[in-house]
Amino acid sequence: MKKRLIGTLAAGVILAPALMLSTSGQAFAASKTVSWKNNGNGKCLVANGFWVGTGDCGAPTAKWEETKQSDGTFVLKSRDHKFCLDSNKDGAVYAHVCNGGNNQKWRESKDSTGWKLVDKATGLTLGSRPDHSVYTNFDGGIKHQRWS
């Protein structure tokens, strides 16, 4: 009985720091590489430095490292330039040095028309214009604001 109690206590001493480490920090899931294709223009979300728009789905700039955060949102980091997808309350979308802020966290939800990407800080939905620029705005349920 004494050996069993000591074994249980030892396991607790070893596991407690590991559990603390696993719950600290922003991300709690492993990253995966994704591409987001706009349902309106058929082009993928791309980043070229700080500029973000839509373009060739086969380009290295169309690959994003997606990391789920503990609050259920996702951070999208350009695999090519290492900047994070960011936006502001005025609807501008750009890539910026990753900082963990709410403007760089995106809620992903699917409906019958595709995936909706909503900025956590602004509550605005990511969309694409015919000129391949991207924006955030109130969700209109239009195909240019849906992704696959």
Each residue's pLDDT, cut to its tens digit, for the chain (148 residues) gives: 444 444 443 444 443 444 333 333 444 568 999 999 999 999 999 999 999 999 999 999 999 999 999 999 999 999 999 999 999 999 999 999 999 999 999 999 999 999 999 999 999 999 999 999 999 999 999 999 999 9
Domain ranges of the chain: 27-145
In the chain, the amino acid numbered 14 is: I
Q: Does domain 27-145 have CATH number 2.80.10.50?
A: yes
Cβ neighbors of 58 (< 8 A, separation 6 or more) are none
pLDDT value of residue 30 = 81
Q: What is the pTM of this model?
A: 0.81
Residue 30 sits at φ, ψ, to 5 deg, of -65, 150
The CA distance from 17 to 3, in Å, is 22
The CA distance from 8 to 113, in Å, is 52
| Closest to 85 (Cα-Cα) out of 58, 115, 54 | 54
